[in-house]
Structure 1
Amino acid sequence: MSTQMLRGASFAALALTAAFTLSACAPGAEANEEHAVPAETTVTITDNHGEVEVPVNPERVVALDNHVFETLDEWDVPLVAAPKGIMGTAWPDYTDDAEVADVGTHREPDLEAIVAAQPDLIIGGYRFSESYDTIVEQNPDAAVIEIAPRDGEDPMEELKRETEILGQIFDREDEAAEITSELDQSIADAKQAYNGTDSVIGLITSGGKIEFAAPVTGRSVGPVFSALGLKPAIEQQAEDTSHGDDISVEAIAAANPDWIVVLDRDASFAEPEPGAVPADELIAGSEALQGVTAVEQDQIVYLDSDFYLTEDIQAYTELYEQLQEAFAGA
């Protein structure tokens, strides 16, 4: 037999062997495809009311809770409706998008805008908590959840819980873990920088007035005391946990805090309340407070101008980093 004929026979044999092998393997491949584990389409989470089955990576999302906007924005989650009236200019990707319906404000909500948006998921709660029952009733085909920090629980742990739930829903658990880890690290760093003895007072300014943010229970600044173990210059429970309690500049001067941590509510809005005065003018510029250690030594920490709008896990992480830098530089 010629060399050419031998080669032809060899090639034919190889072809038959390959064909046999492929035909033998094909059923197995089909079986593997048939038994492949499908991607999860829903996840059961525990919100502030109980267990709720929620779609994974829902396509049509309504968000009403200010705590979640920054995280959703970072993850490029589109919204079909949001309360633009209480979002300021912090999230232009949502507020400047005409395709995102405006739900208004919690005081005058346009709940019909939610229905018209035909959402798969509604993240309610926080300022919109009073509308929860109505929202559930009006949107029977949507999953409605409330995951905002709950009263009586540790605020920082609640922000971490909220972030972890968002990670489950939007299949971003690794990113959620990174966000919560950054919060933990910022707290640890600020604790280490704080000397443990300097006295601190929390204040809120609005409409030209100074209000007291009570340690632990006071708005925005209060949780920082328990998180960092700060020594309060004034020991007092909050009467108004939302807007702060009455306090005079004389009382602040008498307490003589080493540090002042301030939330300027007016700074969060493009159109501040009538009579608004910048926080630094009210505090550092006050004649009655010139002898206070915090003022004399320029140990006043002003929260980010958007803090009142956000109050989210990212805002607190940035605040602890800000405090760490201030304490370390003192």
Structure 2
Amino acid sequence: MFVLVVMMAVFAVACGTNGSSNAGEAAKTTGSEPAKAPAVEELTIKHQLGETKLKKNPKKVVVFDFGVLDSLDKLGVEVTGVPQANIPPYLEKYKDAAKYKNVGSLTEPDFEKINAIGPDLILISGRQQAAYAELSKIAPTVFVGVDNKRYMDSFTENMKTLGNVFDKQAAVDQELAKVNETVKKVKDVASASGKNALIVLATGGKLSAYGPGSRFGLIHDVLGFKAVDDKIDSSTPHGQSISPEFIAEKNPDYLFVVDRDAAIASGNAAAKQVVENELVKNTKAFKDGNIVYLDPNYWYLSGGGLVSVAGMVQEVEKGLK
């Protein structure tokens, strides 16, 4: 009996020790210390104006480029602030002042309003280039303007940057594939036709011509139309000032027209009245029905976006039919 009592006592002590040990381990495992939040990934973006460090998936985004705005809209990325003057009709929802902050104009950012937003990222292009240093003091600022001399390459790079910053890589790749497919179709047809083209901007009753490497030069450089004159001065965004006599002399197979006044609602005469005078009516473009009026909301105000570039290419494709 004595031996039995001793054995039972030893067993009880052992169980108590194991229970205490297991409880201690459980306390360590399910302790009250909060789990650490995963670190936010930081990116370094190289762009035309330098390098910018920023955190991935920024929440407060200010966008000054309408092409980038249409891309983010396409990708389902919300933005906080935009310049609300002259917003293209297809982006009209961003005029809602209750939902989106007005951050100035395309050429004059409102630094005070932008600073009040406290953005995580500011996206700019050529019209805001001079304000880059000042904007960079407020928040990480990235230049996403298209390089006209390498249009599709820089457009692709910009879209991939957006995909990386906002975790939308697959969606960006899908949209780029669609654009590139249409580009190839148009280029094949335009190149095979051997037709030449002239691109003009109409504004205030005057005309300017644009050639390869210009802001509208993708018609030549990307879509395969030969330039009616490869010496057109494309060094400025304003183009080379021309007269109707110039168009008549060059006698293009296709005449592509951008109506700036329609884009900015200036109230000036429509581009058709300026372009289709008696001299131009003697050109091959007019006689063959190949004067193509391009949507200025894509070509003049936005451009360089997933929506605008797709629309631009499709317009040229329709003009070929």
TM-score clears 0.5? yes
Cα separation, partners in 2 of 1:77 and 1:255, compared to 1, 3 Å: same
Moved more, 293-302 or 175-184: 175-184
Equivalent in the alignment of 2:47? 47
Alignment check: 8 A CA contact 2:63 2:122 kept: yes
1:86 is displaced (CA, Å) by 4.1
Residue among 200, 214, 220 paired with 1:225: 220
Residue among 269, 277, 288 paired with 1:277: 269
After superposition, where does 1:129-208 map in structure 2 within 5 Å? 129-137=129-137, 139=138, 142-150=139-147, 153-194=149-190, 195-208=192-205
Equivalent in the alignment of 1:212? 209
TM-score, normalization by structure 1: 0.79
Q: Distance in 2 between matches of 1:213 and 1:193?
A: 22
SS at the partner of 2:282? coil
Equivalent in the alignment of 2:311? 318
SS at the partner of 2:249? helix
Runs of 4+ residues deviating >6 angstroms: none
Residue among 263, 268, 273 paired with 1:268: 263
1:177 is displaced (CA, Å) by 0.7
Structure 1: runs of 5 or more not aligned = 1-25
1:194-235 deviation per Cα after TM superposition (whole angstroms, max 9, x unaligned):
234112111111111121112x13332x22201123211122
SS at the partner of 2:258? strand
Query: RMSD across aligned C-alpha pairs, in angstroms?
Result: 2.7
TM-score, normalization by structure 2: 0.82
Residue among 271, 281, 290 paired with 2:281: 290
1:172-207 deviation per Cα after TM superposition (whole angstroms, max 9, x unaligned):
101111222122112101012223411211111111
Higher-Rg structure is: 2
What is the aligned-residue identity percentage? 26
Alignment check: 8 A CA contact 2:200 2:210 kept: yes
1:124-151 deviation per Cα after TM superposition (whole angstroms, max 9, x unaligned):
23211100111112x1xx3221122246
Q: Distance in 1 between matches of 2:165 and 2:57?
A: 6
Equivalent in the alignment of 2:252? 257
SS at the partner of 2:89? coil
1:36-74 deviation per Cα after TM superposition (whole angstroms, max 9, x unaligned):
995853333322244433222211111112320101112
Alignment check: 8 A CA contact 1:125 1:132 kept: no
Equivalent in the alignment of 1:304? 295
Alignment check: 8 A CA contact 1:264 1:305 kept: yes
Amino acid at match of 2:266: P
Alignment check: 8 A CA contact 2:198 2:227 kept: yes
Moved more, 110-119 or 78-87: 78-87
After superposition, where does 1:12-23 map in structure 2 within 5 Å? none
SS at the partner of 2:85? helix
Amino acid at match of 1:281: Q
Amino acid at match of 1:182: K
1:117 is displaced (CA, Å) by 0.5
1:288 is displaced (CA, Å) by 1.2
Q: Distance in 1 between matches of 2:213 and 2:77?
A: 32
Amino acid at match of 2:145: A
1:271-330 deviation per Cα after TM superposition (whole angstroms, max 9, x unaligned):
316xx22122222x3111111111011111221131211112332322222222332x2x
Q: Distance in 1 between matches of 2:234 and 2:74?
A: 35
SS at the partner of 1:191? helix
Structure 2: runs of 5 or more not aligned = 1-25
Equivalent in the alignment of 2:243? 248
Question: How many residues matched?
Answer: 290
Q: Distance in 2 between matches of 1:219 and 1:93?
A: 27
Amino acid at match of 1:118: G
1:239 is displaced (CA, Å) by 5.0
1:169 is displaced (CA, Å) by 0.8
Alignment check: 8 A CA contact 2:200 2:257 kept: yes
Equivalent in the alignment of 1:235? 230
Q: Distance in 2 between matches of 1:315 and 1:106?
A: 17
Equivalent in the alignment of 1:93? 93
